[in-house]
A and B are shown apart, each in its own frame.
Chain A
Amino acid sequence: MAVFAARKLAPPVVTAEGKAFFDAARHGRFLIPVCTACNRAHWYPRAVCPFCAGESVEWREASGKGTIYTFSVMRRVQEPYVIAHVTLAEGPTMLTNIVDCDADKVRIGQPVIVVFQDTENGPPVPMFKPA
């Protein structure tokens, strides 16, 4: 059994391309970028669609559901944590942490759900916990 305390998180760098995401995150809303030309969601978010190069990308509210594509338990540090790539129900796979879990029981393919984690003097960032 390995349950880790929440790490202290530095605030994310909020750029022009990410501002709307983090504004919504402050209200607990998880947005993903979707291209209005090809209708595909991508990650990490950017203003130019990586699939069709369309320049009209809009934010849409995501389900917050996903499954673990892969993970690792980072043990040899002061504040251990679980790092993972999670495949969202909407398609793209994103880098994140798995929290509120027994690190010894995390598995590839496990269903997870988004949970926002506070940062120090910044907007919260999306992480995931077992669904």
Chain B
Amino acid sequence: MTIKGKAYIAGAFEHPTRLAPDKTVAQLHAEVALGALNDAGLTRADVDGYFCSGDAPGPGPASMAEYMNLKLRHIDSTEIGGASYIAMAAHAAEAIALGKCDVALVTLAGRPRSEGMATGTAPRPRDPNQPEAAWEAPYAITTANGYAMCAMRHMYEYGTTSEQLAWVKVAASHHAQHNPHAMLPEVVTVEDVVNSPMIADPLHRLDCCVISDGGGAVVLVRPEIAKTLRRRPLVKIIGAGEAVKHLAGGTFDLTTSGASRAGPMAFAEAGVTPADIKYASIYDSFTITVIIQLEDLGFCAKGAGGKFVADGNLISGVGKLPFNTDGGGLCNNHPANRGSMTKVIEAVRQLRGEANPAVQVKNCDLALAQGTGFQLATRHGSATLIMERE
């Protein structure tokens, strides 16, 4: 059983807002849902499958199904942090392949910027029943210093430099300048990044993604439905993989992510290799996140990620692997502190030929979206999705 060719992404929508003090989280979910359905040429009444994750308020799918007044026959929720939306797109394809639903909606929305959340520098609240609570909470692990510890070890083992990390941000900024919605549209240099304030050694402020309000949604449908819709070219799901990587009883490394397992699963199902990929959306919570995932996915050898990203290799029209052509989480948008929905959306734009013209990849017929969720330095989810133009 495979999902290859069994489902298509018929609709995709990224909320244009980056600051939404006058909207609720539920309202943002509904707005992105309607945006994606409108993009597909479908209506709310067509939706019979719904997927949301931990960003949805309260009891998640039940709450949002009620708010949007959806009538569903398939409901699911996956919580692997920022990787959830890539995983749920794959789960929607699975449900469609099994005949459990015909039109699946996946939504993400949140307002960390309006709510004044110190996303990277404050420890996240922890459920006291989380088994690691007593053994981690006293040490104030935060998103920024956790990923920083991964970067520190990567530098120690492989000689990766701050300048190489900076190239990831530089490439993202080159793309963001063409995105009218980008939060940070200014082009930056390697010097700008390494001279920005140190947040948690060795990560500088410009190694960190933005904090933004907003959201996004995708609609997946059966092939028979996709072929009746107005959207062309079609975007077909051809492979997916997912993994959780954790501390394994205290026997772990921090230079490899779950992408080292999720990626090969997705490539095997799709029947393609990293060399075939024309465009890659790579979750960029921090610059180091991109380098580790690129290695794990096989775009370069383990430890060679720093050299791979240097000198503009990720810049569309310049380098070998155009990435995050919307500006990514580093420059464009990181709604709800969860980056993989916007990764799928930009991949869809690229496959349709609807990316900003200055960054559109020529003949983009094969794209990958990669997400990492939660904390790379303790436990995280990873999800890979491979899509093909038809």
Contact = CB atoms under 8 A, between A and B. Distances in A.
Given A42-B249, A76-B197, A12 B152 contact: no
Interface in B128-159: 128, 131-142, 144-146, 148-150, 152-153, 156
A106 to B, nearest CB: 9
B135 A44 contact: yes
Interface string A5-36: 00101101111011000100000000000000
Contacts of B247: 43-44, 93
A87 to B, nearest CB: 8
B199 interface: yes
Contacts of A88: 250
8 contacts: A12-B138, A14-B134, A15-B128, A43-B247, A69-B153, A71-B149, A74-B121, A83-B149
A108 B248 CA distance: 21
Interface string B114-134: 000000011000001001111
B251 interface: yes
Contact of A50 (B138, B148, B248): B248
A74 B120 CA distance: 11
A75 B111 CA distance: 26
A40 to B, nearest CB: 8
Interface in A21-78: 22, 40-46, 49-51, 69-77
Interface in A92-131: 92-97, 108, 117, 119, 125, 127
B140 A81 contact: yes
A30 B250 CA distance: 16
Contacts of A71: 149, 152
Given A43-B247, A44-B136, A70-B149, 7 more contacts: A14-B134, A71-B152, A76-B197, A83-B146, A83-B200, A84-B149, A93-B251
B378 interface: yes
Given A42-B249, A43-B250, A74-B145, A95 B136 contact: yes
Given A74-B145, A76-B121, A108-B152, A92 B250 contact: yes
Interface string B246-258: 0111111010000
B198 interface: yes
A72 B200 contact: yes
A70 B197 contact: no
B250 A119 contact: no
B252 A93 contact: yes
Contacts of A74: 121, 140, 142, 144-145, 200
B201 interface: yes
Contacts of B131: 17, 44, 46
B201 A72 contact: yes
B377 interface: yes
A43 B248 CA distance: 8
A68 B160 CA distance: 19
Given A10-B137, A12-B137, A72-B201, A93 B149 contact: no
A49 B202 CA distance: 35
B384 to A, nearest CB: 25
B156 A95 contact: no
**Most chain-B CB neighbours within 10 Å: which of A42, A46, A83?**
A83
Contacts of A69: 153, 254
Given A69-B153, A75-B199, A83 B141 contact: yes
Contacts of A13: 128, 133-134, 137
A7 B137 CA distance: 13
Given A44-B131, A75-B201, A70 B139 contact: no
Across the A-B interface, give the 8 residue pairs with the lowest CB-CB distance, nearest first: A92-B250, A50-B249, A43-B250, A72-B148, A44-B135, A42-B249, A70-B153, A12-B134
Contacts of A44: 131-132, 134-136, 247, 250
Interface string B227-256: 000000000000000000001111110100
Contacts of B248: 50
Contacts of A85: 149, 254, 377
Nearest to A93: B250
Contacts of B144: 74, 76
B121 A95 contact: no
A16 to B, nearest CB: 11
Given A7-B140, A93-B252, A95-B141, A70 B198 contact: no
B138 A10 contact: yes
Nearest to A7: B140
B132 A75 contact: no
Given A50-B248, A77-B121, A9 B138 contact: yes
B113 to A, nearest CB: 18
A92 B377 contact: no
Nearest to B203: A72
